[in-house]
Amino acid sequence: MATAQRPWSMVPRPLCWLLAACLLLQLGWRAAQQHAPAQARPLPAPPPASVARLASLGEPLAMAKAMLLYLQSFEDQPGVSLPWRQLDYDRLVGWLDTAQTLDPRSQYALVAASEVYAGVADPQRVRRMLAFVAASFAADPQRRWPAMAQAVLVAKHQLRDLPLALGYARALRRLATGPQVPPWVREMEAFILEDMDQLDSARLVIGGLIASGQISDPHELAFLARRLDELARQRADEIATKKAKVAP
């Protein structure tokens, strides 16, 4: 049996006005949403590595790549481009660290940290990225030395912080000792010591590299021998200059 429908004329007038007002409010809200300026979303907190590994369904390498692609695309949000300096770098490091934990043999996260996110014009954020690179390098120096070498260059040229660059270069010399590590990586400490006018220390480092047998390539050995001679001459010139200044 069909149910009889009441005509609109029997609907109370106040209820009609209320329905019309609700409809207008809904239409106005949708229009405002379409014309409102786009606002950037903040970077969410990263998932713990254990949770990400569980969610990967046995494919942690694929999950790591997906996380890094998510970070890469996060800068370009609908209607807005988010500058790196507006990202929460503590959370950013968390995402990179989780991705690296899922795929420890990949260099993707460290390359992004040392060459992309460390390029921001904000010294505090740059230092946060370099600290992440240094900690990651210490966990696997024979494989992760390229990012650490880049961190040395960023500290020296971008931050102009020679003591920080020296610390990173010293860690490279002491830890990156595998045969696959090129000699120039272990020589970075000596060059930075020269930039800091610590010529005696630079000579000691170069002499130590030669004496330890860490460098066996004849061309590299000849280069280092020439550097030792040049440093010795520079040191002798410094001493002669100082004596000339104090001479009566």
101-119 per-position pLDDT tens digit: 999 999 999 999 998 899 8
Task: Answer yes or no: do 51 and 156 share one domain.
Answer: yes
Q: Which residues contact 238 (CB under 8 A, 6 or more apart)?
A: 199
Q: Are 68 and 112 in contact (CB under 8 A)?
A: yes
**What's the confidence (pLDDT) of residue 22?**
57
198: in domain = yes
**What's the confidence (pLDDT) of residue 39?**
53
Question: Could you give the CA distance from residue 193 to residue 187 in angstroms, rounded to a whole number?
Answer: 10
Distances in Å between the Cα of 119 and the Cα atoms of 113, 126, 130 are 9, 7, 11
Question: Could you give the CA distance from residue 7 to residue 194 in angstroms, rounded to a whole number?
Answer: 94
Task: Answer yes or no: do 205 and 150 share one domain.
Answer: no
Distances in Å between the Cα of 211 and the Cα atoms of 192, 215, 234 are 20, 9, 22
Task: Answer yes or no: do 161 and 51 share one domain.
Answer: yes
Task: Answer yes or no: do 230 and 158 share one domain.
Answer: no
Task: Answer yes or no: do 106 and 156 share one domain.
Answer: yes
**What's the confidence (pLDDT) of residue 80?**
44
6: in domain = no
Question: Could you give the CA distance from residue 241 to residue 202 in angstroms, rounded to a whole number?
Answer: 20
60: in domain = yes
Task: Answer yes or no: do 146 and 194 share one domain.
Answer: no
Task: Answer yes or no: do 145 and 191 share one domain.
Answer: no
Of all residues in the chain, what percent carry a pLDDT higher than 90?
38
8: in domain = no
Mean of all residue pLDDT scores within the chain? 80
pTM over 0.85, yes/no:
no
13: in domain = no
How many structural domains comprise the chain? 2
**What's the confidence (pLDDT) of residue 32?**
52
Task: Answer yes or no: do 140 and 197 share one domain.
Answer: no
| Encoded tokens for 30 | 């949708």
| pLDDT tens-place string over residues 183-220 | 889 889 998 998 888 877 877 787 777 776 766 677 66
**What's the confidence (pLDDT) of residue 78?**
46
pLDDT tens sequence for the chain (248 residues): 445 555 546 555 655 555 556 565 565 555 555 554 445 577 889 989 999 898 888 899 999 999 888 888 777 654 445 566 678 899 999 999 999 999 999 999 999 999 889 988 899 999 999 999 999 999 999 999 999 999 999 999 999 999 999 999 999 999 999 888 988 898 899 989 988 888 778 777 877 777 767 666 776 667 667 766 676 676 666 666 666 666 56
**What's the confidence (pLDDT) of residue 172?**
95
Task: Answer yes or no: do 128 and 94 share one domain.
Answer: yes
113: in domain = yes
Per DSSP, helices labelled H in the chain are: 13-35, 49-55, 60-74, 89-102, 108-111, 123-139, 141-153, 162-175, 183-195, 199-212, 218-246
The parent domain of residue 198 ranges over: 182-236
